[in-house]
Amino acid sequence: MARKAVLIRMDPALHKALERWAAEEFRSLNGQVEYLLREAVLRRGTKLPPPGGPQEEHDQPTGGPP
């Protein structure tokens, strides 16, 4: 599954707070925002595939051992 790029504008204070929080949890800012959005969607009762989702067909190994 391809990842989608999203442009988001936010208050500088919120950005700084999210950066600190992400650093505390050893995530990138992008990863932290995605984590928080995923948690919010799950709390609403929407089912989502696990992060990363299934690999695309061309990423899966083909054939057996050499």
pTM over 0.85: no
The residue ranking higher by pLDDT, 57 or 41, is 41
Q: Is the pLDDT of residue 2 over 80?
A: yes
pLDDT at 1: 61
DSSP state of 45: T
Read off the pLDDT of each residue in 25-37 and give the average, rounded to a whole number: 96
pLDDT at 8: 95
d(CA 28, CA 22): 6
Confidence of residue 28 (pLDDT cuts 50, 70, 90): very high
d(CA 30, CA 15): 11
